[in-house]
Amino acid sequence: MSKLFSPITIPTSDGDGLEVRNRAFIAPMCQYSVTARDGIPTDWHLAHLGSLAQGGFGLVSIEATAVEARGRISPEDVGLWNENQVETHRRITDFIHSQGAVAAVQLAHAGGKASTGSGFGGTTTGSLDEDQGGWDTVSSSTRPTVPGLKTPHALTEAEIAGVVRSFAEAAARADEAGYDVIQIHAAHGYLIHQFLSPVINDRTDSYGGSEENRTRLVREIADAIREVWPASKPLGIRISGTDWIAGGWDIEASARLSEDLVAHHGISWIDVSSGGFVGPDGTVDIPVGPAYQAPLAARVRAAVGHHVGHGAVGHAVVSAVGLIEEADQAETILTLGTADAISIGRAALRDPHWAGSAAKALRVPARQNPIAEQFARGGW
Ligand SMILES: Cc1cc2nc3c(=O)[nH]c(=O)nc-3n(C[C@H](O)[C@H](O)[C@H](O)COP(=O)(O)O)c2cc1C
């Protein structure tokens, strides 16, 4: 009996829950492949995400999907900021569903880390000027999010309300596009994290200073999405469990925020990543190694694992991510109760059929292997 290949139910506000066929989830991964720069996913996204669904993953998430054009990391990012973008997303979710997987979208705003190059073909990963297709960026403050990036404009309270609306409008489009789950991107130094972390947020209004103020934006976004996102569909979030910087956002703040989001703001899935900023000396010391972020997931799970709010039934789902690459490693994290699901990133870039391979390694009988039937002759 493999835990990794047992189904999991993500609670929903209507009480029914969404069943996912297994606990191998795809972590969102930017592909910088919208060559037309219009935010509309391309055949690349269909082929890439389609192969992951064929490969047996339970939940397949598309990359950071911008809720505003200025919220793209690069001009080649996918978006859901207008109606023209919905149809091609729908093609992708239809295919993911045809393979028995759940389709997730990560709604994102890069804030002060927007308007950068993809780095493809040896081009820059730094800030792009207007003549290179770049734009002016926004953040909680004027502090550069990463040294060397352009100085962002500090959003006014009225502008913050506009960002909250953008998340809700994108969520409504995500529903139209057939996504089953939204993951709010609140990690990795992007806009929401720029509000959460005192490393960047130096505001003195109701969005800065105290922890309650710094977490206001994410709570407002969750509430606004909840108003338009069906009660039958789970709402998730990705957080950076810690900045790994003294005086920054830390794991205890993450545990408190997670508990509040689950109890009062309709969140039932938390993916626990980390990092995104550098310290005052321009560096950050992250203890990177196998499953290095799993202890952060364990702390969040201890805070939220046994209750959910909003009328939802079951346990909030917590997923661990980061250098979890082997089937038995993933299985152990689940059986120890460190997390409820595993998000896989780079290992799935190397092997889009990672889930099928992992099921085989864990001796899941061939007929229960989630790999697409057409590939069964491959010896799973
Ligand atoms: C090519 C690439 C693109 C990524 N894009 C995103 C993204 O869009 N959103 C996000 O939250 N994380 C992104 N990440 C981080 C991954 O989701 C994941 O957290 C990270 O790679 C660690 O997991 P892994 O060791 O399994 O790869 C990206 C990572 C890679 C390698």
Domain span at residue 132 reads: 8-378
Give distance in angstroms: CA of 27 to centre of ligand 1.
6
CATH number at residue 192: 3.20.20.70
What's this model's pTM, rounded to 2 decimal places? 0.98
Q: Confirm whether 2 is domain-assigned.
A: no
Residue 57 lies in a domain: yes
Split into its structural domains, the chain has a count of 1
Distance 239 CA to ligand 1 centre (A): 13
Are residues 2 and 342 in contact, defined by beta-carbon separation less than 8 angstroms? no
Mapping DSSP to helix (H, G, I), strand (E, B) and coil, where does residue 237 land? Answer: strand
Q: How many whole angstroms separate alpha carbon 88 and alpha carbon 260? A: 35
CA distances from 376 to 152, 341, 371 (A): 51, 25, 7
Nearest by Cα to 274 from 303, 295, 259: 295
- Tally of residues, the chain: 380
Q: Is residue 282 part of a domain?
A: yes
Residue nearest to atom 28 of ligand 1 (CA): 29
Backbone angles phi, psi at 288, to 5 degrees: -65, 135
Ligand 1-lining residues (CB < 6 angstroms):
27-30, 63-64, 106, 185, 187-188, 238, 273, 321-324, 344-347
CA distance to 162, 226, 330, per residue, from 12 (Å): 27, 11, 25
- Per the annotation, the verdict on 190 as an active-site residue is yes
Tell me how crowded residue 88 is: count the other CB atoms within 10 A of its CB.
Answer: 18
Q: Is residue 1 in some structural domain?
A: no
Asked, for residue 16, whether it belongs to a domain, the answer is yes
- Phi, psi angle pair for 216, to nearest 5°: -60, -45
State the Rg of the chain over Cα.
19
Task: Identify whether 67 is part of a domain.
Answer: yes
- Tens of pLDDT along the chain (380 residues) come to 899 999 999 999 998 999 999 999 999 999 999 999 999 999 999 999 999 999 999 999 999 999 999 999 999 999 999 999 999 999 999 999 999 999 999 999 999 999 999 999 999 999 999 999 999 999 999 999 999 999 999 999 999 999 999 999 999 999 999 999 999 999 999 999 999 999 999 999 999 999 999 999 999 999 999 999 999 999 999 999 999 999 999 999 999 999 999 999 999 999 999 999 999 899 999 999 999 999 999 999 999 976 666 656 668 999 999 999 999 999 999 999 999 999 999 999 999 999 999 999 999 999 999 999 999 999 88
Residue 333 falls inside a structural domain: yes
User: Is residue 3 domain-resident?
Assistant: no
